[in-house]
Amino acid sequence: MRYQTDFAAQQLADAPRTIQIGPWTLHYQAFSQHAMDKREPLLMLGGAFQSFRSFSAEVQELLPRHPVILLDLPSQGGNLQLAPELSLEQLADLIAAFAEELQLPPLMPIGLSYGSALAALFAVRHPQRCARLLLAGITAFGRPGARRMLEEGLELLSEGQVLHFAQGALTGLINPLRLEETGISLVFRKALLRQMQRLSPQELERYRQNSRRLLDFSGFDHHPTCPTLVLAGEYDHFTQPWEHAGFAAACADADCALIHNGDHLAQFEQREACASFYRPFLQGVALPLASPGATRLARNRLDHLERRQEARVAPLNRRGRLLHAEAGEFHVEVSELGFFGGLVRGELPTDLPNRGWRLQAGDLPALDALPLRHEGDSLALVFPHTDAGASDALASQVVQTEPRAVAYA
């Protein structure tokens, strides 16, 4: 491997280097302070809407101490090659083939969001090629509510409802109840929404394929054995803190740090808090128990982290109606109402349609709702938040009545 030694942020927009492995084309860029650097390189694996340019600050931060490689597998980042037949496991094997082809020493993958599943699988399937592992935004997708939201996004895309898809995806990535704490600006949210609304047909197809891989993934039979650090955003609703902690607990040698005032994009929102843990970790130095903006969770707490995040309270006006174009209208009592979901009670048919429901709760605008669990006269719902106006109205009501209570969807 010959590294580029003249890194500048604008180079991340340049045409990448490519390597052919069978029918698959992999894109990469590689930087170091030494052209023939033999040290263990960092390998950046990004999320669904991230490109090499997303990591400009991270590359500049890491280069003084490490070689850095950015890799786009087929259908990831700026790599437009479609690969519907490849599973997550097979993509992880492509990382190993990439390392073998370029005769790289053991890698230190940094997996973010979608990239976290690939990085972790690479570590599990090719332990001899993985020296250390850093993960944020764990996407194992075992939580029923998360799976329903991902499935709904795919349904909306199949119906051509790109604007509704984008609005729901934005709410999953950026918790709108915690904008003050996370410091995410309205300008950034609008820019990300526009980016998702303007995805090309090929980009949308890549998103479908990547999402389907996550949904088809049956979970980890084994977990990484190398030193592992998991970073969890305190207010991440998409991949929740207890899921990060549970993954770390299952690893042989892992720590989990809670990033205060962080969301699913904690590594961009709270850079210094994240860096205070990943800097020593990547250098093999003992981690702090805490640092400004972050706390390392005790190992004996990892399997016992609170699974309650958002407030769900009984609204003052509990009268509600569930509406469906084909199934009809049902009067219900709204027992619990939060921003991401709620619980209603009423005489409901046993065989409920999976989609197409709207909840009229009190004086709020009707909310799109997805049935999650139906037990007796109780029905748990999740809200896909495809209507910005209805979401804003619900957020205003929830913020006004916010004792910490009731479980995740």
Q: What is the pLDDT of residues 377-391, one digit of tens each?
A: 999 999 999 999 999
Q: What is the rounded distance in angstroms from the CA atom of residue 83 to the CA atom of residue 73? A: 9
Q: How would you classify the pairing of strands 357-361 and 341-345?
A: unpaired
pLDDT at position 401: 60
Question: Model confidence at 397, in pLDDT bands (50, 70, 90)?
Answer: confident
Task: Give SS3 for 133.
Answer: strand
Q: What percent of the chain has pLDDT over 70?
A: 97
Q: What is the rounded distance in angstroms from the CA atom of residue 398 to the CA atom of residue 311? A: 7
Q: What is the pLDDT of residues 289-305, one digit of tens each?
A: 999 999 999 999 898 88
Q: What is the rounded distance in angstroms from the CA atom of residue 255 to the CA atom of residue 287? A: 9
Contact 113, 47 (CB under 8 A): yes
Q: Which of 229, 282, 277, 222 is nearest to 62 (CA)?
A: 282
CATH of domain 9-142+214-304: 3.40.50.1820
Please name the helix (run of DSSP H) or strand (run of DSSP E) that holds residue 109, with its range, or none. strand 108-112
Q: Which two tokens stand for residue 66?
A: 């490490």
pLDDT at position 316: 78
Please name the helix (run of DSSP H) or strand (run of DSSP E) that holds residue 27, with its range, or none. strand 24-31
C-alpha distances out from residue 57 to 7, 8, 9, 52, 60, Å? 12, 10, 8, 11, 5
Contact 336, 342 (CB under 8 A): yes
pLDDT at position 307: 82
Beta bridge partners of 68: 31, 42
Q: Which of 327, 341, 352, 345 is nearest to 384 (CA)?
A: 341
Q: What is the mean pLDDT of residues 145-164?
A: 95
Please tell me which residue, 27 or 316, carries the higher pLDDT value: 27
Contact 229, 283 (CB under 8 A): no
User: Do you know the residue count of the chain?
Assistant: 409
Q: What is the mean pLDDT of residues 36-56?
A: 92
Q: How many CB atoms lie within 10 A of CB 319?
A: 13
Domain spans of the chain?
9-142+214-304, 144-209, 319-400
pLDDT reading at 312 higher than 80:
no
CA 280, chain centre distance (Å): 24
Task: Give SS3 for 262.
Answer: coil
pLDDT at position 69: 98
**Residue 136: what residue type?**
A
Question: Model confidence at 317, in pLDDT bands (50, 70, 90)?
Answer: confident
Q: What percent of the chain has pLDDT over 90?
A: 84
pLDDT at position 337: 93
Task: Give SS3 for 260.
Answer: coil
Q: Which two tokens stand for residue 321?
A: 């109606």
- Fold (topology level) of 319-400: Thrombin, subunit H (2.40.10)
Q: Which of 337, 344, 343, 345 is nearest to 399 (CA)?
A: 337
